[in-house]
Structure 1
Amino acid sequence: MRLGLTYVPTFPPERLREVAIGAEAAGLDELWVWEDCFEQSGIASAAAALAWTSTIPVGIGLLPAPLRNVALTAMELATLGRLFPGRLVAGVGHGVQSWMGQAGARVASPLTLLEEYATALRRLLGGDRVTVQGRYVTLDDVALGWAPSPPPPLMLGGVGPRSLTQAARLGDGNLLGTAMTEEEVRAACDAVRAARDGDPHPVVVSVIVATGPDAQERVDREVPHWGRAPGEGAAVAGDAATVAAAFRRLGDAGVTSVAVHPTRDEPDLAGLLRFLGREVRPLL
């Protein structure tokens, strides 16, 4: 199992540098940045994190398809893919529908949009010249001048049954949501396996984690921000053995990568990174 950190936009952009450098120094397998309306840009955050580090892969989880023209997304991902070969992981999804409405970008059929979007994006990143007239995606003889080789992995997000199936079919992996219980993660992984006829498929999940003497209190304060109640099992609090055991159970369910989501009141991000790298990772 791969172990990483999610840099959530509850922290300001100016703290990303220390976290990216710290995640790499701690020996974590990956760093994930988010594009949340109206907080931080996924592309800008990924570019900065990649430039500040040397080896750690950086994933974007995720870019909302309704908000971004597919040609622009392809251009940006291709540029990052060529600047930092082999280190970018792209993520695309429906976006939070209420935010899409606020931005005037909400569509009637998010599934149709993502189908057209992911198909066109993969072709563009693969170096194809694309002409398509879809319900939402329209391209007329578009090709990237500097397509990345190889193209970055394209992860797709979604948690509903149809979204899980679509992402398993179209993407190079599934991005699950945050604050999911172990039972919900297991059900999602089962749905992904069914959609893939049992073939292995990467599954990334973001897990709220806290350690230290006040760990439980902090996760209990955090989970309501994600629509969960304390005690539902949507976060992990405890020492390295407790955290690693929870992650191993997720691995048994089918998760291939856990991205640790710090609480918004995490008092020591550098310490959390060291804890994950030195104490948790050896137990996985």
Structure 2
Amino acid sequence: MSAAGDNVGRMKHGFIFTGTDPSLAVELAPLAEASGWDAFFVWEGIWATDPWATLAAAAVVTDRIRLGTMLTPVPRRRPWELAGQTMTVDRLSNGRVILSAGLGVAAEFEQRFWIFEDDPGRKVRAELLDEGLEMLQHLWQGQPFSFEGEHYHAEPTQTMLPPAIVQQPRIPTWVVGVWPRMKSMRRVARYDGWIPNYAPPGAAGMDPLEQQRTYTPEIAAEAIAWITSERERLGLADRPFDVVQEGTTGGVDRVADAAVVRAWAEAGVTWWLESDWQVPAERVAEYARARVAAGPPRP
């Protein structure tokens, strides 16, 4: 079998719950596990259902499926609080958590996320993301440490230390990166997975719809080749690394669904994340139950 064909067989599949009802999410997680999905994700908002409380409940009613957010705006979070939440779910699930990390949506694209504070701008959010991710590496170990950054600091303490995470050396951390912006992509290469954004050459701004329209498996393959080379340079080539692609399949025609996913797998994508953000709120429960039960778009 060719390398591309082999990757098709190895691809994993996650389902993103786009609704807001935590009870429904906890109902869906074991259904997803029984229906052959490899992961179950919930979204994290500002003034919204608490994703980590929801995932904690999902952890105790599942055994195999991985659990995570899609995604966590790390610059909006206090790293020590995020460390405690993720550690708790990691221990409750016996090491099945994935952290998906990004800058968060800019105010120019979604003002709803900035109703309590002002957007400090992409540069500051990028600094907060880098420092937050660095702090998490220490916080997850439940050991005294010191940290001095531009935005955060920590003093060593021996008292009331939390337990460490189950997964080592860290909870797998997938990071949003904008291809082909090298500063963003170099951050991605240091962690455990890439959540793609794409900045088409010559395009104004970072319009999400334009990114989705112009990002193709061919562009993904180009970016993945760069990540592979960069990780070799960093001495990380022997450590697992995932590449994510989010999209929508029907769940009715398995052959057609698999064909949609195949091109991405052949490009080197390792996870297909099923989502449909266009489903109206009143239909989310009906849609999610049916699509989860239909199973992932495997060949």
TM-score with structure 1 length normalisation?
0.78
Determine the C-alpha separation between the residues in 2 that align with 1:191 and 1:60: 23
| 8 A Cα contact 2:18 2:42, kept in partner | yes
Per the TM alignment, residue 96 of structure 1 is displaced from its structure 2 partner at its CA by: 1.2
1:272 aligns with 2:291: yes
1:173 aligns with 2:186: no
Q: Select 1:197's aligned residue among 229, 246, 251.
A: 229
**Which runs of structure 2 are paired with 1:112-131 in the superposition (5 Å)?**
112-131=127-146
Q: What SS does structure 2 have at the residue aligned with 1:91?
A: strand
Q: Select 2:16's aligned residue among 6, 27, 30.
A: 6
CA 1:276–1:163 in 2, change beyond 3 Å: closer, same or farther? farther
| Residue in structure 1 matched with residue 201 of structure 2 by the alignment | none
Q: Which amino acid aligns with 2:291?
A: L
| Residue in structure 2 matched with residue 222 of structure 1 by the alignment | none
Determine the C-alpha separation between the residues in 1 that align with 2:90 and 2:162: 13
Determine the C-alpha separation between the residues in 2 that align with 1:148 and 1:191: 31
1:81 aligns with 2:90: yes
Q: Select 2:60's aligned residue among 18, 27, 51.
A: 51
CA 1:258–1:167 in 2, change beyond 3 Å: closer, same or farther? farther
Deviation track 1:83-136 (CA, whole Å, cap 9, x = no partner) reads 221211122211112255333163342222211111111222144533222122
Greater RCO (Cα-Cα under 8 Å, separation 6 or more): 2
| 8 A Cα contact 1:80 1:88, kept in partner | yes
Task: State the Cα RMSD in Å.
Answer: 2.7
Determine the C-alpha separation between the residues in 2 that align with 1:242 and 1:18: 28
| Residue in structure 2 matched with residue 65 of structure 1 by the alignment | 74
Q: Any gaps of 5 or more consecutive residues in structure 1? A: 213-238
- Aligned sequence identity (%): 24
1:149 aligns with 2:166: yes
| 8 A Cα contact 1:5 1:261, kept in partner | yes
CA 1:206–1:45 in 2, change beyond 3 Å: closer, same or farther? farther
CA 1:97–1:244 in 2, change beyond 3 Å: closer, same or farther? same
1:107 aligns with 2:120: yes
Deviation track 1:192-212 (CA, whole Å, cap 9, x = no partner) reads 431441647301222123355
Q: Select 1:30's aligned residue among 39, 42, 55.
A: 39
| 8 A Cα contact 2:101 2:176, kept in partner | yes
Q: Name which of structure 1's ranges 41-50 and 154-163 shifts more when overlaid on structure 2.
A: 154-163
